[in-house]
Structure 1
Amino acid sequence: MEPFARTIDAKKKYVVSSALDGVDWNAELVRGDLGKAVQQLKQQSGNGLLTGGVMLPMALAELGLIDEYEFVVQPRIAGHGPTLFAGLSKYVDLKLVSRMEFRSGAVVMRYEPKR
């Protein structure tokens, strides 16, 4: 866990919030026009941006700003909790790019939007 913790600690993080006044942990607060902010971040050099959660990916999908989707399916049915992309205003057709299975039964699938 320590190598992962050191790696994630060193990475620049961006926090999208209209409620926070400040952030720490090597992070920058993103406010204002989400689309413009993400487009500017995507133009910077680096290995791309990763996001998680429910609300931010939904907003980015609505804006057409997601270049790749990665879904990890765990072998457990919860029956409750937030639903990813619930309420999306339009379909996003995807093309499977890769798939990886783990001994645990988890499956990681990477998709790109069909253009």
Structure 2
Amino acid sequence: MRKLIYGMNVTLDGYIAAPGDDIGWGGPSDELFGWWLDQERASGLSLYGRKLWETMSSHWPTGDQQPGATPAEIEFARNWRETPKVVFSSTIDEVDWNTRVVTGDAVTEITRLKAEDGGPMGIGGATLAGAAMRAGLIDEYVLATHPVLVGGGTPFFTALDSWVNVNPVETRTFPGGVLLTRYETKR
């Protein structure tokens, strides 16, 4: 059975994007970017909601060819293209870069994917992750909390139908005051 991990950069007040889908507040240090790269390398499958897919696919297919790309960014772009991905959307028809689209029920498909053998799956996008949270499918939460308050936007956590108890498994500080925390869901 696969593990489902929900992890993103987040503001101190709990948002993954400021109003207007602005993510300019969250530029990771080289060290934090390297940590995210290691997580991506360990992932067997990436699950995206439409908005996050549009953000990622607008940069990473050619991220290794951008002027000034760091070695970590070059490796991230190559890994991103090679990693299997699933986009959950009713409005996207075509995808590329080792990706397929699911237009049906996300919870049903994520449940099916979790039951398969394979490496961990990363899930991103507030709406998609929120559906997985409410269905009790998230096994691990990873928050890279940046020391900034944006006052609104897209929250990391969605409204839940019941409590979710977690165990802390890692706390680490990165340059710029970013605090990484990882929690496993108690089962």
Structure-2-length-normalised TM-score: 0.57
Aligned-partner Cα distance in 2 for 1:48–1:55: 20
Q: Which has the higher contact order (CA 8 A, sep 6+)?
A: 2
Alignment-derived partner of residue 130 in structure 2: 58
C-alpha deviation, 1:17, in angstroms? 0.8
Kindly provide the amino acid, as one letter, of the partner of residue 105 in structure 1.
Answer: G
Root-mean-square deviation (CA, aligned residues, Å) is: 1.5
**Which residues of structure 1 form unaligned runs of 5+?**
none
Q: Deviations over 1:41-65 (max 9, x none)?
A: 1233332110122101100001111
- 2:80 and 2:117 map into 1 onto residues whose CA distance is 18
Which is richer in helix?
A: 2
- Alignment partner, residue 18 of structure 1: 90
Q: Which has the larger share of strand? A: 2
Counterparts of residues 96-107 of structure 1 (less than 5 Å): 96-107=168-179
Report how far residue 85 of structure 1 moved.
2.3
Q: How many residues align?
A: 115
**With structure 1 as the length reference, what TM-score do the two structures score?**
0.89
Q: Would you say 1:68 and 2:140 are equivalent positions?
A: yes
Farther-moved stretch of structure 1 (56-65 vs 93-102): 93-102
Question: Aligned partners of 2:117, 2:83: CA distance in 1, in Å?
Answer: 14
1:48 aligns with 2:120: yes
Q: Secondary structure of the equivalent of 2:168? A: strand
- Provide structure 2 residue ranges, at least 5 long, that are not aligned to the other structure: 1-72
Residues 1:90 and 2:90 are matched in the alignment: no
Residues 86, 34 of structure 1: CA spacing in aligned structure 2 closer, same or farther, 3 A cutoff?
Answer: closer
Mapped pair 1:78 → 2:139: no
Q: Is the 8 A contact 2:106 2:128 kept in 1?
A: no
